[in-house]
Amino acid sequence: MTRKPTRRKADQNPPPTQWLELSELLDYVGQVLGRGLPGAIWVRAEIAELTDRRHLYLDLVQLEGGQQVAKCRAAIWARERYALEGKLKRATGGGLSAGMSVLLFCTAEFHPQYGFSLHVQDIAPEFTLGEAVARLNAMRETLQAEGVYGLNRTRPLPGDYARLAVITPEGAAGLGDFHREVAPLEAAGVLELHYLRATFQGRTASESLTAAVQAAHDLHVGQPLDALVVIRGGGATTDLAWLNDLPFGRALAQFPAPVITGLGHARDDTLPDELAALRTDTPSKAAVHIVRTVTQAAAQAQADWTYIRRVGAEEAVGADASVRWLRDRLRGAVQRGLNSAERDVTGLMRSAVGLSPERTLERGYALVRGADGRPVTRAAQVGSGEALTLHLADGEIGVEVQ
């Protein structure tokens, strides 16, 4: 006998006769959200990504211990965008960017088609600046606790520069200013420059800058550098905040040669500025320091050569007749060496100061001579009431030291 298959009980139940359409459910969720958050609230977050399509679309995240614990979308509509960007720029000098910590005044919205998002109505620039200051203070305290905070500042600046490494962003405007100043010395073979490109803004800045310092360190191990120079053009306070990075700062603080910064700003402090042996406001000023140091070293070499030659001549005249033959032989050898040295020093001087003393004076420098006509290169060489002569491009001026 054949048995009929039995139907399970579930198959006998009819399908539900009541349900909600998806749009109805999402409408209901939106109504619940609206009743729970009846107005705008301040929300603290970090901008993970930013898309500009007339309106600004933000991906906001919350990070704890480097891990993402919350994420949502936000929008700044065009009608509010320009007012909010202007407010932020007046306070920080820049606009919104990825990686920035922000405090936003938002309404929570839920759309059946586009889901949950925040509508940004206002921004608190003071919070963004305060967060940057707090991060800088924390990094400063960490480096102080590690005992490296003031390490590079104790390294003396050299009396002359011959070999430098320069860390700079790709295509930075400040790089052109720097290069125009040092180009004559580089072309003359007086100065050897190694340019290392790095990213100065964005999430990859820390890794890129730290790698550039390591590359400079490798150069130093191969052949010692006189200094490491870090330059960039001017920028907003929020742009400069990317330079306040702990691994980058630690690498600069422990660098085995003096660090010189020229970051294109005067009123804002950055961690690299605090750690460097010498801070200058702009790339041009960093270059001027280098050129002036090389020029002064060459001038001192010329003065030393003049002194050595004069003393050598005086000693030669007073030598005993019994050693005249030996003296003449030695004098000839010394003279040939001095003549060769004079040619080398003269060539160096011409390269370092622009090929002629007149061109140097025309650039705004002055030659100072004492009452005896000798060049004065140190303040310690003169006293109060002493008369000096300033040689300028178009004449001489007599002055008295006070």
Q: Where are the domains of the chain?
A: 22-123, 134-289, 366-402
Give me the percent of the chain exceeding a pLDDT of 70: 81
- Write the DSSP string, 287-308: HHHHHHHHHHHHHHHHHHHHHH
Residue 269: partners with Cβ closer than 8 Å, 6 or more residues away: 136
With bands split at pLDDT 50, 70 and 90, how would you rate the model's confidence at 320?
low
Distances (CA, A) of 82 to 101, 122, 204: 19, 11, 28
Give me the percent of the chain exceeding a pLDDT of 90: 29
* pLDDT tens, residue by residue, 336-370: 666 666 666 666 665 655 545 666 667 677 888 88
Return the CATH class of domain 22-123.
Answer: mainly beta
* pLDDT tens, residue by residue, 238-271: 677 788 899 999 999 999 999 999 987 666 678 9
22-123 and 134-289, same CATH topology: no
31 token code pair: 């109504």
Distances (CA, A) of 279 to 286, 308, 385: 8, 37, 35
Tell me which residue has tokens 């940004």: 120
> How many CB atoms neighbour CB 9 within 10 A?
7
**Would you say residue 5 has pLDDT above 60?**
no
Pick the range with the lowest mean pLDDT from 190-199, 277-286, 296-305: 296-305
> How many CB atoms neighbour CB 243 within 10 A?
24
CA pair distance 73, 59, nearest whole angstrom? 5
pLDDT at site 152: 95
| pTM for this entry | 0.59
Residue 226: partners with Cβ closer than 8 Å, 6 or more residues away: 158, 160, 161, 162, 163, 164, 257, 258
Three-state helix/strand/coil letters over 60-86: EEEEECCEEEEEEEEEECHHHHHHHHH
Fold adopted by 134-289: Rossmann fold (3.40.50)
Q: Between these two residues, 319 and 165, which has the higher pLDDT value? A: 165
pLDDT at site 349: 61
One-letter amino acid at 183 equals A
**Would you say residue 394 has pLDDT above 70?**
yes
One-letter amino acid at 306 equals T
pLDDT at site 9: 55
* pLDDT tens, residue by residue, 150-189: 999 999 999 999 999 999 988 777 788 898 999 998 888 8
pLDDT at site 130: 77
Number of helices (H), then strands (E), belonging to the chain: the values are 12, 13
**Would you say residue 45 has pLDDT above 60?**
yes
Sheet of 395-400: strands edge to edge? 367-369, 387-392, 395-400
pLDDT at site 175: 85
pLDDT at site 228: 97
Burial annotation 254-282 (CB, 10 A radius, 16+ → b, else e): ebebbbbbbbbbeebebbbbbbbbbbbbb
Tell me which residue has tokens 């720029």: 89
**Would you say residue 212 has pLDDT above 90?**
yes
pLDDT at site 323: 54
> How many CB atoms neighbour CB 212 within 10 A?
23
**Range ranked top by mean pLDDT from 138-147, 180-189, 289-298, 331-340:** 138-147
With bands split at pLDDT 50, 70 and 90, how would you rate the model's confidence at 196?
very high
Pick the range with the lowest mean pLDDT from 23-37, 79-93, 301-315: 301-315
CA pair distance 79, 64, nearest whole angstrom? 33
CA pair distance 339, 320, nearest whole angstrom? 25
The mean predicted confidence, pLDDT, of the chain is 82
Identify whether the C-beta of residue 386 lies closer than 8 Å to the C-beta of residue 370. yes
pLDDT at site 74: 92
Residue 253: partners with Cβ closer than 8 Å, 6 or more residues away: 143, 148, 149, 150, 151, 152, 275
With bands split at pLDDT 50, 70 and 90, how would you rate the model's confidence at 148?
very high
